Homo-oligomer: A and B are copies of this chain.
Amino acid sequence: AQSSVTVFGIVDVAVRHVDGDGTTKTLLSSGGLSTGRIGFRGIEDLGGGLKAGFWLESQVNADDGTQPQARFWHRRATVSLISDSLGEVRLGRDFAPTYSAFADYDAFGDNGVAAFTAMYKPRTVSGTTPQTAVRDDNQVSYILPTTLGGIYGQASVAAGEGTKGSKYYGGRIGYKTGPFDVSAAYGQTELASSDDKYKLFVVGGSYDFGVAKILAAYQEAKYDVGVASIDGLKDKLLTVGATVPVGAFVIRASYDQVKADDDKNAKRLSLGGIYNLSKRTAFYGTYSVIDNDDAGTFVVADSPAVAAGKKSQGVEVGVRHSF
């Protein structure tokens, strides 16, 4: 019945201008500050410190009214049993713990022209690309309770169910106390065959000094695969950032660097500001520039593409409204 459901969401639309080595494009974009979404969630208290909960969340691209086609509940579809003392068992589609372990320490939260996933591109090996970079289908997770004196963590297994690149296990362990937060994660995805592994190691942390919060994260992706040209290849991604609250304003900045064994390298600088009109509504502006090195072809947005070593930059100004 109604009382057990919370309807929530975000509508976030911006005017974006991107420049790929001189080729420019102006467009309306969605999710510049936070990905647009609509969701339904609820928690039932079963007594004795036990709770049951559900969470269904769909992506909303308000610029054109679309949503990712294949999965309506693309962002999350889970059912949970939660014990205050023993922790949570969560079943369904959800974030992979290796993703959260990086995203939680990115100053721009993987959104808009500064999204870090623009510089985190899993490779295709024998026709299979890891499907577990952000979320996993068919995931069973155990999440530690919040009663462990600041220690938190999650262990997850995702059934492949015949979809190549989807069989995953991973975990994250962290410690958070007052202004201090640090965590590490490891995950492994099976690619075309059980001999091909995509391994991801992530470490990150943040410290909130009050006048500014400093964030940093590092991840290393390694391909242990049967294809000689890719076997052993490593992609390294680093982000260092800060958020500075000034009254209703928040200033954000980050520096990212990607280094790959095959010279697909790049550096990136992102700068942005948020003006909170209320807790639910904010204006924002973000600028990001990717300076590709060597064989790097990273771009701030899907299009326009750039040739190896060329620059891609973008700016957007928008409004985010939560409900």
Residues of A within 8 A of B (CB): 1-2, 4-9, 11-15, 25-28, 38, 40, 42, 44, 46, 50, 52-54, 56, 58, 60-67, 69-79, 81, 91-93, 137-140, 159, 161-162, 277-278, 280-281, 303, 318-321, 323
A282 to chain B, nearest CB (A): 9
Contact of A15 among B27, B61, B140 (CB under 8 A): B140
Smallest beta-carbon distance A184→chain B, Å: 26
In the bound assembly, the distance between CA atoms of A150 and B306 in angstroms comes to 51
**In the bound complex, how far is the Cα of B159 from the Cα of A43, in angstroms?**
42
Residues of chain B within 8 A (CB-CB) of A91 are: 13-15, 28, 62-63, 318-319
Find chain B residues with CB under 8 A from A64 CB. Answer: 71, 77, 92-93, 137-138
Q: Are B1 and A52 in contact (CB under 8 A)?
A: no
Q: Which residue of B lies closest to A81 (CB)?
A: B319
Q: For the complex formed, measure the closest distance between the CB of A193 and the CB atoms of chain B, giving whole angstroms.
A: 17
CA distance A54 to B65 in the complex (A): 12
A12 nearest CB neighbor, chain B only:
B79
In the complex, the answer to whether A11 meets B77 with C-beta atoms within 8 Å is yes
A1-B58 Cα distance, complex, nearest whole Å: 16
Q: Is A77 touching B60 in the complex (CB atoms < 8 A)?
A: yes
**What's the minimum C-beta distance from A292 to chain B, rounded to whole angstroms?**
23
Q: Nearest chain-B residue to A73 (Cβ)?
A: B65
* Contact in complex: B56, A38 (CB < 8 Å): yes
Name the one of B25, B60, B277, B318 contacting A73, with C-beta atoms under 8 angstroms. Answer: B60
Residues of chain B contacted by A78 (CB below 8 angstroms): 11, 13, 62
Tell me how many chains of this kind the complex includes.
Answer: 3
Known: A65-B92, A67-B73, A81-B319. 5 other contacts (CB 8 A): A2-B5, A15-B91, A62-B78, A63-B93, A91-B318
Contact A52 B319 (CB under 8 A): yes
Which one, B8, B14, B79, contacts A62 given CB within 8 A?
B79
Given A79-B13, A79-B321, A159-B28; A46-B277 close (CB under 8 Å): yes
A80 vs chain B, min Cβ distance (A): 8
Identify the interface centre among A9, A76, A321: most chain B CB within 10 Å of its CB. Answer: A321
For A28, the closest partner residue in chain B by CB is B138
B54–A159 CB distance below 8 A: no
Cα A75 to Cα B62 in complex, Å, equals 11
Nearest-Cβ distance from residue A142 to partner chain B, whole angstroms: 13
- Collect the chain B residues with CB atoms within 8 Å of residue A162's CB: 25, 303
Contact B323 A42 (CB under 8 A): yes
* Minimum Cβ distance to chain B for residue A12 (Å): 7
Which residue from chain B places its CB closest to the CB of A281 in the assembled complex?
Answer: B52
A-B contact pairs, 11 of them (CB 8 A): A13-B92, A15-B140, A44-B278, A63-B77, A63-B91, A64-B92, A64-B137, A65-B73, A66-B72, A67-B73, A79-B321
Chain B residues, CB < 8 A from A303: 162
